Amino acid sequence: MPKAPSQKEATMLDQLRRAGLKLTAQRLAVVREIADDCSHPTAQELFERLQAGLPKMSFATVYNTLDALVSAGLCTPRVLSPGATRFDPNTLPHHHAVCDRCGLVIDIPSEIGKSASIGSARSCSAPRAPKLPAGFAVRAVEQIVRGSCASCSH
């Protein structure tokens, strides 16, 4: 018996339907694979994971499904380190910690309306945020913290 879809998965599938896309077996598989995946996979990683169960699925199908999720605002393409674009199903405001050694990406929650800085409070002599151009509307504030994850630090 197949497992019940998570809330995120159900939302993604509903949005794809609303966008007029058929829910093919391949699209369902991509959504199921990425919906609750906090590893920020690349399209290639998703393709490789799904290929055994769907050998006739093309890389283009994976990429096009990810593109549809991005267009629907359900997934965000992220360039967090050298290499391929990663896809993040977490659409809430957040930051990222990236391991320089193994490439692990970890979400760091951010609080809307609070300081966008990560870590301890700034001192009075700390540099101020840059002045934004007149009329510029901020959509998001994101920070990337780079270092070594627990596994690579040992």
Summarised one tens digit per residue, pLDDT across range 5-57 is 889 899 889 988 888 888 889 989 999 999 989 999 999 999 999 999 999 99
Euclidean distance between CA atoms 129 and 75, whole angstroms: 28
Does the predicted TM-score (pTM) go above 0.85?
no
12 with 82, same domain? yes
Strands 105-109 and 86-88: unpaired
79 with 12, same domain? yes
Summarised one tens digit per residue, pLDDT across range 59-84 is 999 999 999 899 888 899 999 877 89
Q: What amino acid occupies position 116?
A: A
101 with 75, same domain? no
Nearest to 70 by CA among 12, 140, 110: 12
The tally of domains found in the chain comes to 2
* CB neighbourhood size of 46 (10 A): 21
Is the backbone of residue 108 left (phi > 0), alpha (psi -120 to 50) or beta?
beta
76 with 111, same domain? no
**CATH (domain of 61):** 1.10.10.10
Last residue of a domain, one of 86, 112, 128: 86
Its domain, for residue 101, covers: 92-120+136-154
